[in-house]
Structure 1
Amino acid sequence: MKEIVTIYSCDFCSKELSNSITDTHISHLSITFSHRSGWVELVEGDSTGWSHVKVIASGVRQFCNAQCLSRWIESEMEEDEGE
């Protein structure tokens, strides 16, 4: 019989947050990003006045705490500036 193994790690620091084998269960932030998540800027002439300048890929992300979430967002912004 197949055993289903579920492991969640922080998307910033990779700390293990949940592991069904080792019975690890640490309270953490779980955030769902959608196609409308990201950075916006005011654009004249746009019907809403706002336009996305960077979209975060859709999906569920896990973070240890607010600091890891903040650092992850900062790293996403830095990646965009480096392009």
Structure 2
Amino acid sequence: MEEEEMQSLIMALIDETRFSFLLKLMRTILCVLRFLAKVSKEKIRNLEDFSRENFNSKEYEKATQSLAKMAQSNITQKEIKH
């Protein structure tokens, strides 16, 4: 599964407008990424690093990248519609 497919899965599962704090959104994204890693059974290469323990800095970094890509995707889609 490619990075873009992973981003679309995250966007389908999370409505980012419902979060008032960035940290809550980040933790939710981390939980979704862990869930996808568990369900995919190592089919998604980018999710192999996610553990079942406490969140670590590498996982936060991936969540931040996912969030940035989601924001870029949303902006691009809005520009295309107009």
Superposition TM-score, scaled by structure 2 size:
0.33
Which structure carries more helix by proportion?
2
Q: Which has the higher contact order (CA 8 A, sep 6+)?
A: 2
In our comparison, the structure showing a higher alpha carbon Rg is 1
Superposition TM-score, scaled by structure 1 size:
0.33
Which structure carries more strand by proportion?
1
